[in-house]
Each structure stands twice: as C-alpha cells, then as structure tokens.
C-alpha cells in the first residue's frame, strides 16, 4: 500500500504536469493570443469585406476558425486532467493513510500532500462556480507540480506510525484546520500574483512579466477571487493555528502558547493576513498594495511550511523531513 | 494651552488611523522573527548558553537588545502596546457609532431611487399605497430586515429597510475579544507558575510541590512561593512501549497523589492527557532511566545512589554521574577525607548491541542493559560553594589534578560489581524509571480560550456579513396619469450595498420580484 501511494504520487505529479501543458497550449493557441489572432485575422477581414463573404463563411464550417474550438477542447482536457490529478492526489493520501493505519498528517511530507490537495479541491470548486477563470489553471497546476515535486524530493518520509505526542484527537482537528486553510491560502496566492500582473497589463504595461497576464480574466475578478479565498481561509487558520493548536499544546506541553518557531511563524502569517484583510477593507489603501500584503503572507506560509522545519527545529520537529 | 492639546489630539488621530495600525501590525510581524531565529531563555536556557559559547562576541550585545527574551523585550512590548492603544482608539468611536446605527430607524428613501447602485423602475402594483407599503413591510420583516414605512405629505408611502448590522457587530466583537485575550494572557503571566522536574520511581524519591523541589521553575510576578498548592506525587509505575524501529508508541505514568490530606493511588497520566489536580496540572514530557549504584568503601560502608541519567539520543543512550562525597570516612576518626571522595561518570545503555560499541544503545527499552563507569577519586569540589551540576563530574577539579581517574572504564551489567584498587567495590544494582514532568498553573487560560472563541465568532460574522439598504416608494395611481385602475399604485425601488457585495444585484432583483403582483416570497434573500 505504501508503494502504491508512492506510485500514485508520480501519477499525480505527471497528471498535473500534463494539465499544465494543456493549459499552456490553450494559452498559446487560444483566440486571445498573438497566434490565435493571427490565425483568425484573414477570416475577420473576410467578414468585414461584405455580405456574400459572410454567407460564404458561415456556410463553410471548416473555415470557421479551427483554433477556438481546438483551444477550448485543449482547455477542457486540461481541466479534466486536473480533475484526474486531483483524484490521483487523494488516492495518494488515502493509500498512505491505509499503509500507516492513521490519518496521513504525521510529517511534513504528508502535510504538504494534504495542504496541496485542499488547494486543488478549492480550485475545482472555484472552477465550477466561475468557469471563465479556467485560464488560471496553468498557474495552479504549475504550483502543484512545484510543491508536490519539492514534497516528494526533499520532504519524503517512509510510512510510519505517529509518535505518542501526536496521538490525540486534537491532532486531527488541528492539522485538518491548518492544512485546509494552508491549502486555500496557497491557492489564493495564484490570483493575487496574476492580479498584479493583469492590473499592470490593463494599465498599458507591455513589458515582461505583465504580458503573461494577457489572457487571464479581468483584474477586478482576480482581485475579488483573491479576497474571497483569503477571507474564507482566515477564520479556519485562526481556529486551527490559534485555537485548536493551543488547546492541544496545553494538554501536551502544559502551555497553550510558548513561542515555538512554528507557533511564531503561524502567528506572523496570521498577522500578515489580518493586515491584508484590513488593507482590503480600507478604501484609502490601494488594491495592489493590499494584494502585495497577501503575497507577503504567502511567503510567510512557505517559510512556515519549509523554512521552520529546515532551519529552526523546535517542538514541531516531528513535522520534520 | 491649545497647541499641546492640538498636538496630542493629532498624535492620537495619527495613532488610531488605519495606516498606523497596518504599520504596527507589520512591525509586530517583523519583531516576532528574531524570537524564532535566536534561542529563547524561556524555551531553553541551555540553548542560550550554548549560543554564548559559540558566539562570545555577539551574544552579550544581543542580550542587551533583549533578543534572548524577544517576546518580553522593550521593543516587542512597545509595538504591541501601541497596537492595542491604536485598536482601542479605533473601536471606541466605532462602538459608539454602531450603537447609534443599530438603534436608528432606517433613513428616509432618497428622492431619486434610480440613482442608487441598484434600482427598479416604477411598475403598477396591487392595492392602495398604504396597503402595498404594509405588504412590503411584512415581507421584509419576514426576511429579517429592519423596516420603517413612512407616509409622505402627498399621500405616497416609502418603505426603508436595512440589514447586515451583524457585520459590524462581529467586527467589534472580534476586536474586543483581542483585547480580552491580551488581558487573559497578562493575568495568566502574573498569577501563573510552572516548574519542571525529574520524578524517579520510588517512595524515597517522591516529590512535593514546592519551589526548591523543582529542577527549574518560574513564578508569575504576583505569585509567592507560599501560594503554591501543596500536593505530593510518587511515581509508582512507568510503561513505555516502543516500535521495532525504536520509535516510542506510548508512554504512561502511574502515580500516587497526596492532595489535601487524601491519598489516591493509581492515577495515570500520559503524553497528551495530563493529570489535572486542584490548582495545577501535571504533564508528562519525557522518560528515562536512573541507574542504582551502590558503593562500598574501603571501610565496608555502603551507600546507594539513584541518579537520573539524561538521554543523549532517541535510543536512550544516557549519561550521568553518581557522587559519593561522604565515602571513605575513617570510622575511627569520623573525619571526612577530602582527597578520598569518589565519583563515577557513567554511560547507561538500555540495549547494548551484540557486538561493537557498548556505549551506544540500539533500542530504547532495557533488553540488554549495560553501564560503563569511569571512577574518579579525590576532591569532587562540592564544598567550594560553587553550584555544581548533578549530571557531570567537576571538570575543573580534574584539570587541577585534585580529582584523578582510577583504573580504566568498566562495563557492568545489572548485579555486577567492580572492585577498585583500594579494595572498595561499586555495584550496578539495577535501574528505576523516571518521568520528566512539568507542573503548571495558568489561571488565565480558560478566559483566553473563551475570548478566542468569541473572537472567532466575531471574525466569521464580520467576514461574511453584508450591510445593505433597500427603499421602496409607492405612489397612488391617481397621482399618475398612466393609471388604469383606481385601486392600484405604482411602486419603484432602489438598493444600496453599504459593503463590498457582488451578489447584491441578484438579491435586489429577487426582492423586487417578490413585491410585484403575483411575485414569490422573499425567501432566498439571505
């Protein structure tokens, strides 16, 4: 079962990779891209040239720009592949849990696996509700490939049972809340980064990296999605890291808060995201300033996920690599 | 007289502005970082002194800056005190405003409803304006809106409704809860106390709750040593289970507790499930072995020491010492001979490998135990008045040549003895388990928990609430020329989201549809 889990991880990463390539293909050959437009231009001119041409064009389905439907097909395939990857992803988690005979949250590898799964699940929900955000899938898939790749290569830990300190009901509550909110925060960074690029693009900036945002949805939609993801994750993070964690810490270590490096960085992330929500709610603070704060929050999350375990140790060291 | 007042008022305004609050939040985040990078005294005093050893030049400067007590330092305190001052300055006026807003009836409808962000043009509706207004009011009340209907001078009616005050209520609740968390933390740090200690199994090594009995302790500013609740603990059993890999799978300690004169035997506690006593809780942090070492001196006097050895790795390879400063007292004179004291430095290995290093354990349970001792004779340096570690032989005495090693290192299995050159013998009798326990009391913690939960509720309300207003104006049909019947009126509507609320247009459309003749109910407008 442990081997199956490891193989499924490979499948998961590959599926995300292919999904990413499909998204990239849609991106490159889509109707809105250079290439797509170049391919469409003669037909548009044909339409412009007058009535008969219009009739001629509509009567000939083959001439009907082949690129749009092909790119839509590729886009749909990308979404389907993302779904497939998500299925393999949860398969990886479940088989791992079965192999270890416990919830699969016992170390850093499993934690990243869980948080990224929550991230992709949240992404699929976003896709169902706002299908026109599909273009963001490229970046979401890229993200998954990177995080899972790092998890598999750097943080991989063989299957093992929990140490006594983790044998608690609060363990499940704490880690479930923290990994859920981490996953959604991490996902929230995708529209945040794209918003900044897209906002620049909409202001007429045509240099790299703003040009990357040519095909993504409108800046306002990205900004709103960023806010909604963060506003959703923030109370869960508050509960997981600052309430459930301390309750468990009190039972286990005798104090609810002790400035352990992991606690410190959870606190820092909380403050930064609180700052983001305040900045977002304050009309005098520009939206791009607020979004930069969310990106700083994302960096503190990465620091907490990887940095604290790699550099500082501390009481949360069973989450080690 | 006015200028300092103006300065004060401006500074207060500056402090309570959102920009300042955001800056302070970021400063707090940045100021939290050093505490995770540098070792902290309240977490591990040992790591701080290690840091002094490694960076002798830098450490004193860092210490002056308070880096080793980062969360009690002047700069950290300054930031959070300012932040909370800013918070108070922000919420007091908002509390007042909110109190007024909640009690206020929804304002009169604006003259031009079509200029509001959402609006519906006038359409014919059933009944007289008064009837229609009453109908709309009932419908809105069912949807939990605050509604006021007003009759105008010209006989038309307006209905104003407002919803979503819970957002600001939640917002204020969250911020007040933060203040009360801070108050709870402060209370806990004043009236709380904690102590750590190693509790060796056995009646002779029982522990009674008092400061001198702790290996390490910390009392809050308002706690006196005499305030600690009196109870005694005796470790009667310790069960440790390990996996084949040596990873621990469960620890459980059994103690006899004497509390308020009553003795209760067989109380168990484990990692994650502390022993809750009156006024304190006892937490199991770790476990190890205390070898029992018997020394029979050259005059035939036996003494026994049970000293906890500290583990140096996960397989519980442990080291420690057994000191016998009163050994070799000549029974004829009764005089202690300072150069005849004896001490043993030892490495205890619960499971020795079949072959190879006998000073490196291969498993944490006692499957093949062995104790390697190095004997020292001379002056142990216990009487110099200098604090002396109970876990090591005084290296300074060895360096000064006052303490010399006797013979070679010797491996003993349980029950084995070793005869030294002067005919005295040392016996490794066996071991006892010990538990590392932390005893803590924090009278503020329940209050902090309660406040955090309130804060979370407030936060959820504040993030999900949406304040919005809707207005209806109903005009009698005869006031309009396009009227068809006399018993009908014209109704127009307008809506104003007071907070960012993308779904408002839908909600407004549903509301308006429900008020039209034959319209549905106002359900689904939540």
Residue B67 reports pLDDT greater than 80: yes
Record: contact A271-B285, CB cut-off 8 A: no
Q: What is d(CA B228, CA B246) in angstroms, rounded to the nearest whole number?
A: 38
Suggest the residue from B17, B33, B36 to mutate for an interface test with chain A (most A CBs closer than 10 A).
Answer: B36
Record: contact B36-A312, CB cut-off 8 A: yes
**What per-residue confidence (pLDDT) applies to A209?**
83
For residue B98, give every residue at least 6 positions away whose Cβ sits within 8 Å of its Cβ, in sequence order, or none.
B165, B168, B169, B172
Q: How far is A210 from chain B (nearest CA, A)?
A: 27
B213 and B471 in contact (C-beta within 8 Å)?
A: no
| Maximum average pLDDT range among B353-367, B424-438, B468-482 | B424-438
Q: What is d(CA B252, CA A30) in angstroms, rounded to the nearest whole number?
A: 64
Q: How far is A155 from chain B (nearest CA, A)?
A: 19
Closest CA to B253 of B232, B267, B241: B267
For residue B100, give every residue at least 6 positions away whose Cβ sits within 8 Å of its Cβ, in sequence order, or none.
none
**What per-residue confidence (pLDDT) applies to B243?**
84
Grade residue B487 by pLDDT with cuts at 50, 70 and 90. low
Bigger pLDDT: B314 or A66? B314
Record: contact B32-A282, CB cut-off 8 A: no
DSSP-based three-state secondary structure for A31: coil
Give me the phi and psi of B503, to 5 degrees please. -85, 5
Residue A159 reports pLDDT greater than 80: no
Q: What is d(CA B295, CA B131) in angstroms, rounded to the nearest whole number?
A: 104
User: How confident is the model over B373-388, as a mean pLDDT?
Assistant: 79
**What per-residue confidence (pLDDT) applies to B2?**
67
Residue of B nearest to A249 (CA): B272
Tens-place pLDDT, residues B273-307: 899 998 899 999 889 999 999 999 888 899 999 99
Tens-place pLDDT, residues B227-259: 899 899 999 999 998 888 888 888 899 999 998
Domain ranges of chain A: 1-36+66-159, 162-321
Nearest CB among B36, B271, B281 relative to A261 is that of B36
Tens-place pLDDT, residues A183-226: 999 999 999 999 999 999 988 888 888 887 777 788 888 999 99
B194 and B211 in contact (C-beta within 8 Å)?
A: no
Q: What is d(CA A287, CA A271) in angstroms, rounded to the nearest whole number?
A: 18
Residue A303 reports pLDDT greater than 60: yes
**What per-residue confidence (pLDDT) applies to B486?**
56
Residue appearing with tokens 């040992």: B46
Closest CA to A188 of A142, A134, A151, A224: A224
User: How confident is the model over B119-134, as a mean pLDDT?
Assistant: 88
Residue B519 reports pLDDT greater than 70: no
Q: Give how far Cα B62 sits from Cα of B48, B55, B257, Å.
A: 11, 10, 44
Q: How far is B249 from chain A (nearest CA, A)?
A: 5
Cβ pairs A/B, distance under 8 A: 123
DSSP-based three-state secondary structure for B251: strand
B521 and B511 in contact (C-beta within 8 Å)?
A: no
Residue of A nearest to B22 (CA): A275
Chain A residues 174-233 with a CB less than 8 Å from chain B: 224, 231
Longest CA pairwise span in chain A (Å): 84
Q: What is the mean pLDDT of chain A?
A: 81
Nearest CB among A239, A254, A300 relative to B283 is that of A254
Q: How far is B472 from chain A (nearest CA, A)?
A: 29
Residue A321 reports pLDDT greater than 70: no
CB count within 10 Å of CB B408 equals 7
Residue B521 reports pLDDT greater than 80: no
Residue A171 reports pLDDT greater than 70: yes
Structure tokens at A189: 């960074």
Residue B450 reports pLDDT greater than 90: yes
Suggest the residue from B29, B32, B282, B462 to mutate for an interface test with chain A (most A CBs closer than 10 A).
Answer: B29
Where are any strands of DSSP class E within B297-352?
A: 302-306, 310-311, 318-324, 341-349
A259 and B43 in contact (C-beta within 8 Å)?
A: yes
- Whole-model pTM? 0.84
Nearest CB among A165, A277, A278 relative to B21 is that of A278
Residue of B nearest to A267 (CA): B29
Residue appearing with tokens 């609050």: B21
Grade residue B388 by pLDDT with cuts at 50, 70 and 90. low
Grade residue B266 by pLDDT with cuts at 50, 70 and 90. very high
B377 beta partners: B342, B404
Nearest CB among A235, A272, A278 relative to B18 is that of A278
Record: contact B455-A238, CB cut-off 8 A: yes
**What per-residue confidence (pLDDT) applies to B60?**
92
Q: What is the mean pLDDT of chain B?
A: 88
DSSP calls for B464-522: H---EEEEEEEEEGGGSTT---TTEEEEEEEEEESS--TTHHHHHHHHHHHHSTT---S
Tens-place pLDDT, residues A60-107: 444 344 456 777 788 888 899 999 999 999 999 999 888 888 888 878
């Amino acid at each position: 079962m442990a081997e199956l889990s490891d193989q499924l991880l490979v499948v998961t990463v590959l599926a995300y990779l292919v999904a990413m390539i499909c998204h990239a293909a849609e991106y490159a050959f889509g109707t809105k891209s250079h290439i797509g437009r170049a391919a469409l231009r003669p037909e548009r001119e044909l339409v412009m040239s007058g009535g008969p041409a219009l009739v001629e064009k509509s009567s000939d389905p083959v001439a009907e720009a082949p690129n749009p439907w092909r790119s839509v097909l590729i886009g749909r395939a990308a979404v389907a592949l993302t779904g497939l990857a998500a299925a393999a992803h949860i398969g990886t988690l479940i088989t791992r849990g079965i192999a270890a005979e416990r919830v699969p949250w016992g170390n850093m590898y499993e934690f990243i696996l869980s948080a990224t799964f929550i991230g992709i699940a949240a992404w699929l929900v976003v896709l169902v509700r706002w299908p026109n955000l599909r273009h963001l899938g490229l970046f979401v898939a890229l993200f998954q490939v990177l995080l899972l790749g790092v998890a598999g290569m750097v943080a991989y830990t063989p299957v093992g049972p929990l140490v006594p300190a983790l044998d608690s009901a609060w363990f499940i509550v704490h880690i479930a809340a923290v990994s859920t909110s981490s996953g959604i925060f991490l996902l929230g960074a995708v529209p945040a980064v794209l918003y900044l690029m897209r906002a620049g693009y909409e202001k007429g900036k045509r240099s790299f990296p703003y040009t990357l945002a040519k095909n993504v949805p409108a800046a306002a939609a990205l900004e709103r999605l960023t806010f909604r993801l963060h506003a959703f994750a923030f109370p869960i993070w508050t509960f997981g890291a600052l309430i459930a964690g301390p309750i468990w810490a009190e039972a286990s270590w005798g104090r609810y808060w002790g400035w352990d490096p992991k606690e410190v960085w959870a606190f820092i992330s909380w403050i930064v995201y609180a700052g983001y929500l305040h900045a977002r709610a304050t009309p005098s603070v520009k939206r791009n300033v607020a979004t930069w704060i969310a990106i700083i929050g994302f960096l503190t999350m990465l620091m907490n996920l990887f940095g604290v375990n790699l550099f500082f140790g501390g009481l949360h060291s069973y989450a080690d690599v | 007289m006015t200028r300092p007042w103006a300065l004060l008022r401006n500074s207060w305004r500056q402090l309570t502005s959102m920009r300042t609050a955001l800056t302070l939040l970021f400063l707090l985040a940045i100021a939290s970082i050093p505490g995770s990078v540098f070792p902290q005294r309240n977490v591990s005093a040992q790591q701080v002194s290690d840091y002094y050893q490694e960076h002798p030049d830098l450490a004193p400067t860092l210490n002056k800056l308070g880096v080793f007590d980062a969360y009690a330092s002047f700069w950290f305190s300054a930031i959070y005190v300012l932040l909370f001052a800013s918070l108070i300055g922000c919420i007091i006026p908002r509390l007042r405003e909110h109190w007024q807003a909640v009690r206020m009836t929804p304002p009169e409808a604006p003259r031009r409803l079509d200029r509001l962000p959402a609006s519906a043009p006038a359409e014919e509706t059933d009944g007289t304006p008064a009837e229609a207004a009453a109908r709309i009011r009932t419908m809105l009340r069912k949807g939990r809106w605050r509604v006021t209907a007003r009759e105008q001078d010209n006989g038309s009616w307006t209905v104003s409704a407002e919803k979503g005050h819970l957002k600001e209520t939640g917002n204020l609740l969250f911020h007040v809860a933060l203040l009360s968390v801070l108050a709870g933390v402060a209370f806990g740090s004043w009236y709380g106390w904690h102590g750590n200690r190693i509790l060796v199994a056995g009646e002779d090594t029982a522990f009674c709750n008092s400061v001198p009995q702790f290996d390490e302790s910390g009392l809050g500013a308002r706690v006196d040593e005499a305030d600690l609740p009196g109870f005694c603990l005796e470790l009667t059993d310790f069960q440790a289970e390990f996996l084949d890999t040596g990873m621990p799978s469960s620890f459980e300690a059994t103690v006899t507790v004497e509390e308020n004169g009553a003795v209760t035997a067989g109380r168990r506690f484990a990692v994650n499930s502390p022993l809750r006593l009156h006024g304190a809780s006892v937490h199991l942090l770790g476990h190890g072995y205390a070898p029992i070492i018997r020394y029979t001196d050259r005059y035939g006097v036996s003494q026994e020491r049970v000293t906890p050895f500290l583990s140096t790795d996960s397989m519980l390879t442990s080291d420690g010492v057994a000191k016998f400063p009163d050994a070799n007292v000549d029974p004829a004179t009764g005089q202690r001979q300072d150069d005849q004291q004896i001490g043993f430095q030892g490495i205890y290995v619960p499971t020795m490998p079949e072959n190879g290093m006998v000073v490196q354990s291969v498993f944490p349970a006692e499957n093949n135990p062995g104790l390697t001792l190095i004997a020292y004779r001379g002056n142990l340096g216990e009487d110099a008045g200098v604090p002396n570690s109970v876990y090591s032989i005084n290296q300074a005495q060895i360096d000064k040549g006052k303490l010399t090693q006797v013979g070679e290192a010797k491996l003993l299995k349980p029950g084995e003895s070793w005869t030294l050159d002067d005919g005295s013998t040392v016996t490794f009798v066996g071991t006892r388990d010990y538990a590392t326990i932390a005893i803590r009391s924090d009278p503020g913690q329940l209050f902090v928990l309660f406040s955090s939960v309130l804060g979370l509720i407030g936060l959820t309300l504040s993030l999900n609430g949406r304040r919005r207003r809707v207005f209806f104006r109903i005009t009698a049909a005869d006031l309009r020329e396009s009227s068809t019947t006399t018993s009908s009126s014209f109704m127009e509507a307008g809506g104003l989201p007071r907070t960012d609320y993308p779904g408002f247009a839908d909600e407004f459309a549903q509301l308006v549809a429900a008020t039209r003749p034959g319209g549905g109910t106002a359900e689904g407008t939540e």
